[in-house]
Amino acid sequence: MSILEYIAGPWSDGRPSIHRQVVEALAARGADEKSSLNLAPITVGRITFVPGAIDSLAGRADPSPTKAGRLIVAINDAIRRPSGDTLARFYALLCEGDTITTVDELLSRLPHEIGDRQPVVATLARRLIEEAPDVEPVKAGVALLGLCGTADDVELISIVGHYEEITIYSVVALLKLLVDPEPAIWSLAKAVHGWGRIRAMPYLVSTAKDEIKDWMLREGFRNGIMNEYLAYTCAVAGNLHAALARHEIDDELLVASAELLSALINGGPAEDIVDYSDGSAVCVLFLRHMMSKRKIDIRVVDAVVDIKWLVEEERAAELHSHSGWSPQVLLEIGGLAESALRRAEVKVAVEESLRSADDYVFNVAAGLSSHVGVDSWPIRFERQRQKQSDQWYWLMQAEDVARIEQVLQLARDQLDLAKIAAAPSVSLGLGREYADDSALAFVLQELNRFPGVGSDLVCAGLRARDTRGRNMAINALRDWDRKAWPPNAMEELRRAAAREPDEKTRQRMLDLMQGELRN
């Protein structure tokens, strides 16, 4: 037994360990693997990130050999001269953060530095994972255990990997510890739903297992960040083309294929439909399967509209230069999409979904309604009137001033304008606390199209507590002819400028009063 096991850790300050938080969150979640763990987000300064975002967005930054060297010295001190002081120095260095920038350099150099003391390092790593309340030391612990541990450590590494800030470290550790790591990585990928899944998926793309490929197509691409991150990876690795080439497919696969295609067409941070060599063939197969279904999911309709847009709009010209997207193929796909949207079942799907209590389903259907001749504005208005969901942005897209007047009156009835007009601050008005402020901003940002309409709300916006609301009010007045300004507009601007805490916003108010503010 190593003396390291008996020395009190410097992290023992009463805070719960990351490992304990994960175990308790897993117990609270129970058997429902499709829900994310309720763990605290990561805060850096005043900015909050979802777990895994910082390391994922930063990527594998340039290694830091200087810090890696300091860590090696600290590890050697801790395992050769274990004491409260050496552990404290080591832990403090880990807590400085940036594990992502040092881990590769650390792991490449460490075996040569510690010699036959790998079991002692493994002991230290296990303690970090099980006891540390700070996330960066736990990341380092997982990385070290992947290097120095044994297959007996897989459960510990997998459990803490359910925290998506740590998932990628667990995946790499599993690769090092297991002869066949694929089942363990797949199990972990299924249990995480954000950046953890996005980072884990590349380690499954070479799978030969049909069950993993099928999961990729039906579920694996879905994540809480953007499906676009994994759509291409899963479509290729899961062989979407072969799956759709079957004579018949089930409804679940059709819906999943629809979401995959929509993500590929929308594009984003990863490869998209232009990069997908089977893209045109998959579109044709998908549309043919859709035409054979009697009951159609709204997500399938959404994908049909996306495909129709793809082959008709400017992006079609871009496709011509890629294999499989000849003018004849584009015409075929466009014709199939047109026929699909004319089906009576499509209109039924939209109308049924417009009655859904689910916000996502409703909003997708409302966005598609114009394609099937349904006016969703009155339905949106009623949904907002009953406070079932926030529809302010969409309601304000109306062109009819009579409809805009209805929205403005609803805003007067539903929004706490007195609360919104509290003392001005430099806040952007984000978060649940600013729900009414955000609603008013959505209203104000469209009033520039309706000179003189809603002038009382514009004046309320000048008194808004968030900078976004005040600037939206400024924009409305800027775009109105001064003849449309309310009689008290200049006085409201003077008062607002006098108490404005944000210098840039204050200058915009002064420029507006002097007629010098431009778009």
Rounded to the nearest 10°, the torsion over CA 374, 378, 381, 382 is -100
> Is the pLDDT score of 353 beyond 80?
yes
Is there a domain that residue 519 lies in?
no
Give pTM, 2 decimals. 0.87
Structural domain contains residue 382? no
Contact 216, 237 (CB under 8 A): yes
Residues 167 and 240 in one domain: no
Q: 108 and 67 in one domain?
A: yes
Domain end residue (candidates: 374, 401, 421) = 374
List all residues 6 or more positions away from 26 whose beta carbon is below 8 Å from its beta carbon: 37, 159, 162
- Indicate left, alpha or beta for 297 from its phi (over 0: left) and psi (-120 to 50: alpha): beta
380 belongs to a structural domain = no
Q: What is the mean pLDDT of residues 484-508?
A: 94
- Domain identity same for 362 and 341: yes
- pLDDT tops 90 at residue 48: no
Statement to judge: residues 107 and 51 lie in one domain? yes
**pLDDT reported for residue 320:** 80
Instruction: Provide the pLDDT confidence category of residue 312 given band limits of 50, 70 and 90.
Output: confident
Give the pLDDT confidence score for residue 1 in this predicted structure: 52
What is residue 519's predicted lDDT score, i.e. its pLDDT? 65
Look up residue 413 and give its two tokens. Answer: 């009835």
CA angle, 256 then 257 then 258, to 5°: 90
Shared domain check, 416 and 348: no
311 and 164 together in one domain: no
Domain assignment present for 379: no
Q: What is the pLDDT of residues 239-285, one digit of tens each?
A: 999 999 999 999 999 999 999 999 999 988 889 999 999 999 999 99
Domain presence at residue 472: yes
Residue 292 in domain: yes
> Is residue 140 located within the same domain as residue 271?
no
pLDDT at 24: 94
Q: Based on the fold, state whether residues 185 and 212 are members of the same structural domain.
A: no
| Least confidently predicted of 58-67, 157-166, 496-505 | 58-67
Q: What percent of the chain has pLDDT over 90?
A: 81
User: Which residue, among 74, 103, 82, 235, has the nearest Cα to 168 in the 3D structure?
Assistant: 103
What's the rounded Cα separation, in Å, for the pair 361 and 435? 22
Name the burial class of residue 240, with classes exposed (0-12), middle (13-18) and buried (19+) by CB atoms within 10 angstroms of its CB. Answer: buried
Mean pLDDT computed over 233-238 = 98
Asked whether residue 43 falls in the same domain as residue 5, the answer is yes
Q: What is the mean pLDDT of residues 290-307?
A: 97
Mean of pLDDT values over 64-88: 89
Q: Which of 374, 406, 421 is the last residue of a domain?
A: 374
pLDDT at 64: 63
Query: First and final CA of the chain: distance in angstroms?
Result: 72
Kindly report the average pLDDT of the chain as a whole number.
93
Last residue of a domain, one of 323, 348, 374: 374
Per-residue pLDDT tens for 78-133?
999 999 999 999 999 999 878 988 999 999 999 998 888 999 999 999 999 999 99
Percentage, residues of the chain above pLDDT 70: 97
pLDDT digits (tens, 9 = 90+) for 399-438: 999 999 999 999 999 999 999 988 899 988 888 889 999 9
Return the pLDDT at 63: 60
Q: What is the pLDDT of residue 371?
A: 93
- The confidence score (pLDDT) of residue 4 equals 79
Q: Which domain holds residue 337?
A: 205-374
Rounded average pLDDT over 307-321: 84
Count of structural domains, the chain? 3
User: What pLDDT does 59 receive?
Assistant: 52
Average pLDDT score over residue span 381-410:
97
* pLDDT at residue number 318: 79
Residues 2 and 104 in one domain: yes
- Summarised one tens digit per residue, pLDDT across range 135-151 is 999 999 999 999 999 99
pLDDT of residue 298: 97
Same domain membership, residue 129 and residue 259: no
Looking at the fold, whether 171 and 46 belong to one and the same domain comes out as: yes
User: What pLDDT is stored for residue 405 in this prediction?
Assistant: 98
Whether residue 132 lies inside any domain: the answer is yes
Q: Is the pLDDT of residue 46 over 70?
A: no
Q: Is residue 368 part of a domain?
A: yes
